[in-house]
Amino acid sequence: MPTSVIDRLGLSVPLVQAPMAGVSTPALAAAVSNEGGLGSIGVGATDAIGARGMIEETRARTGRAFNVNLFVHGTANADPVGEAAWLDWLAPVFAEFDAKPPVALRTIYKSFADDADMLTMLLELAPPVISFHFGLPSIEVITALRERGVVMMATATSLHEARAIEAAGIDAIVAQGIEAGGHRGVFDPAAPDDALGTVALTRLLVLKTRLPVIAAGGIMDGAGIASALNLGAVAAQLGTAFIACPESAADDAYRAALTGPGAYHTTLTSLISGRSAR
């Protein structure tokens, strides 16, 4: 049954709080999980030591299932000429804000595919759920995590990616439409992008795959969740809707933009990137 993953996780609310690396916190994830949804922490922007601390804190705050999200992007390849051109092009922007541009670009997010320490830590702690963004780890890694009892999810922005997720033996697909507020989890940034909206993508993956589908992108309230369920999704993933929560790590300016005058228009436009990360 497609809904078995919801039962397996013991969710009483068909809601996943999006990981949002840098904004979601153990306190936020635990609060969502304690209310019957699936709270998430994003560890793609930290190392194994930092991720361990976040997982242990979340586990201390809730006895329910929670999700740990990882970036599985391709290894960065240096391009000195292209990077220098980008820095030259961005120089006026840095100057506008009285900021000093970097001398050279550097990789800031290490891919889980290249992080043996992260894998060792995850196999030790075995968090209830792990989700993958920007791609998939090797079959060997997926098998090792499954043997530790971890439920796995992965983001898809197309049917091609969803079929790769299904073939890899992942438990559920997060169907991330073009409306997504965070960087979209495309596997190959150089490949054509159909830029499907959440409604079309969710329905497509429900019809064309056998896995449970979690709808994501532009969903802000209960009516949006109900619409996703009507499309055949087993749950909906919300991110921006949680940023103003007291448990998030968002700064005061971000919170004000979300809750002040004209917040609805701002939330649906200028605060949503909805684009691939590379």
The pLDDT of residue 273 is above 70: no
User: Tens digits of per-residue pLDDT, 27-40?
Assistant: 999 999 999 999 99
The mean per-residue pLDDT over the stretch 141-167 comes to: 98
Cα–Cα distance, 158 to 262 (Å, whole number): 33
For the segment 168-218, what is each residue's pLDDT rounded down to a tens digit?
999 999 999 999 987 889 999 889 898 999 999 999 999 999 999 999 999
Q: Where are the domains of the chain?
A: 4-73+109-268, 77-107
What pLDDT, on a 0 to 100 scale, did the predictor assign at position 88?
Answer: 94
Largest CA distance in the chain: 56
> How large is the angle between the packed helices 116-125 and 139-147, nearest 10 degrees?
20
Q: Which residue has the tokens 């000195």?
A: 80
Tell me how far apart the alpha carbons of residues 127 and 230 are, in angstroms, rounded to a whole number: 30
Lowest mean pLDDT among 67-71, 231-235, 242-246: 242-246
Distance of CA 200 to the CA centre of its chain: 19
**Is the pLDDT at 143 greater than 80, yes or no?**
yes
> Can you read off the two tokens belonging to residue 22?
């840098």
| Average pLDDT value for residue range 60-69 | 98
DSSP annotation of 171 reads S
Return the DSSP state at 213: E
Q: What is the DSSP letter of 113?
A: G
The encoded tokens of residue 35 equal: 């209310």
Q: Kindly report the CATH number that applies to the domain delimited by 4-73+109-268.
A: 3.20.20.70
Structure tokens at 266: 């701002």
Phi and psi angles of residue 42, each rounded to the nearest 5 degrees, phi first: -100, 120
Q: Where is 274: in which H helix or E strand?
A: none
pLDDT band at 268, cuts 50/70/90?
A: very low
2 falls in which pLDDT band (50, 70, 90)? low
**pLDDT for residue 256:** 84
Nearest to 150 by CA among 169, 164, 176: 169
pLDDT of amino acid 211: 97
**Residue 262: its pLDDT value, please?**
62
Give the pLDDT of residue 269.
Answer: 40
Burial 49-87 (b: 16+ CB within 10 A, else e): eebbebbeebeebbebbbbbbbbbbeeeeeeeeeeeeee
Token pair, residue 272, equals 């949503």
pLDDT of residue 104: 86
Average pLDDT taken over every residue of the chain: 91
* 3-state secondary structure string across 224-249: HHHHHHHCCCCEEEECHHHHCCCCCC
If you average pLDDT over residues 242-252, what whole number do you get? Answer: 92
**What pLDDT score was predicted for residue 257?**
83
Mean pLDDT of the 9-29 span:
95
CA distance 177 to 157: 6
Mean of pLDDT values over 69-95: 92
